[in-house]
Amino acid sequence: MSKQDATVANAEQIESWNGTTGVKWVANQDRLDRMLAPFSRALLDTAKVKTGEHVLDIGCGCGATTLDLARAAGTEGHVLGVDVSAPMVGRAQERAGAESSRAVFRIADASTYAFEPNAFDVLVSRFGVMFFDEPASAFANLHAALRETGRLAFVCWRGLGENPWVTVPLRAALAHIAPPEPSAPEAPGPFAFADRDRVTSILQHAGFHHVALTPFDAPLLIGSAGPEAVEDGLQQSMEIGPVSRLIANEAPDVRERVKDSIRNELAKYVTAKGLLLAGAVWIVTAEA
Ligand SMILES: C[S@@+](CC[C@H](N)C(=O)[O-])C[C@H]1O[C@@H](n2cnc3c(N)ncnc32)[C@H](O)[C@@H]1O
């Protein structure tokens, strides 16, 4: 899909998650799942999926949470993971096959897909709901797929300023590269749901009740424990996230200077458990 297809819902995000971003997520799937594990645990504890329940994992990516949910729902349950990214869904399907999971995956845009009405007991997402061009209509579509007794649980990032795992490497890079044009805080992207009131309003307008946002903080393992911690974290910062986008078109000498600065900054955060940087999310819950 090209950028000219601006009339297609979520065209830019679909292009990105089927292009370099999606391919990098697949290549770094183990590392990203390790990094996001504290949030998975918090999400699963919150969603409390029971045997036999029907569950939808929104923006399931490479399938880590979908596979966890399928284990919780058991042989009587049904777990569907949807995502716009063909490479990531491909990886999810491979993993499901390898562990004989009953999880089912579909390449689909969760904001417009014609889900069976009243089909799910639980809607879940680990960082997969902040990328909709039209979040109000996307959540209305998802609400229609939820049973009257159903519930919603997802995690999304709080503000950039509360997430040093992003700002520490980013500030180091910005010592060498002019900052990009600031995007609107509500533009689709990882931090689009940082504002509590905005999220509450989107969900309420979509028909959800008892909306609650609970702050949850956890350190992210950016680099593995041991002597390679800093180089591991550096590789991650250069490959995925805002720094990778910032340096994409920079000359090799600039990239080297950026690397040196990030390396120096990351070295300050090495612990016996590895390179840890703080992360801050909302755990969002609601009822149908
Ligand atoms: C930050 S990744 C998270 C992936 C996965 N949930 C995880 O935690 O590893 C965001 C995911 O949302 C997906 N996504 C973005 N827009 C979407 C949409 N409209 N419908 C379905 N998936 C979408 C992306 O393809 C990507 O896999």
Q: Containing domain of residue 17, as a range?
A: 11-158+184-218+280-287
Non-local (6+) Cβ contacts of 217 within 8 A are: 278, 279, 280, 281
Residue 221 alpha carbon to ligand 1 centre in Å? 21
Q: What tens-digit pLDDT sequence spans the chain (288 residues)?
A: 444 445 688 999 999 999 999 999 999 999 999 999 999 999 999 999 999 999 999 999 999 999 999 999 999 999 999 999 999 999 999 999 999 999 999 999 999 999 999 999 999 999 999 999 999 999 999 999 999 999 999 999 999 999 999 999 999 999 999 988 888 889 999 999 999 999 999 999 999 999 999 999 999 999 998 999 999 999 999 988 889 889 988 999 999 999 999 999 999 999 999 999 999 999 999 999
On whether residue 164 sits in a domain, the answer given is no
3-state secondary structure 207-271: CCEEEEEEEEEEEEEEECCCCCHHHHHHHHHHHCCHHHHHHCCCCHHHHHHHHHHHHHHHHHHEE
On whether residue 249 sits in a domain, the answer given is no
On whether residue 154 sits in a domain, the answer given is yes
Ligand 1 proximal residues by C-beta, below 6 Å: 10, 13, 17, 36, 59-62, 64-65, 82-85, 88, 109-111, 126-128, 131-132
Q: How far is 156 from 128, CA to CA, in rounded Å?
A: 8
Q: 253 vs 11, 87, 240, 247, 256, CA distance in Å?
A: 34, 32, 20, 11, 5
Please give the pLDDT value at position 196.
98
Query: Which residue puts its alpha carbon closest to atom 16 of ligand 1?
Result: 131
Atom of ligand 1 nearest to the CA of 125: 6
On whether residue 233 sits in a domain, the answer given is no
Atom of ligand 1 nearest to the CA of 32: 9
Please give the pLDDT value at position 7.
66
Count of domains observed in the chain = 1
pTM, two decimals, is 0.95
Query: Which residue puts its alpha carbon closest to atom 5 of ligand 1?
Result: 61
On whether residue 23 sits in a domain, the answer given is yes
Non-local (6+) Cβ contacts of 226 within 8 A are: 274
On whether residue 235 sits in a domain, the answer given is no
Please give the pLDDT value at position 182.
80
Q: How far is 83 from 105, CA to CA, in rounded Å?
A: 8
Neighbour-count burial of 175, counting CB atoms closer than 10 A to its CB (0-12 exposed, 13-18 middle, 19+ buried): exposed
CATH number of the domain enclosing 58? 3.40.50.150
**Dihedral over alpha carbons 90, 94, 96, 102 (to 10 degrees):** 70
On whether residue 252 sits in a domain, the answer given is no
Please give the pLDDT value at position 84.
98
Please give the pLDDT value at position 2.
43
On whether residue 204 sits in a domain, the answer given is yes
CB atoms within 10 A of CB 252: 7
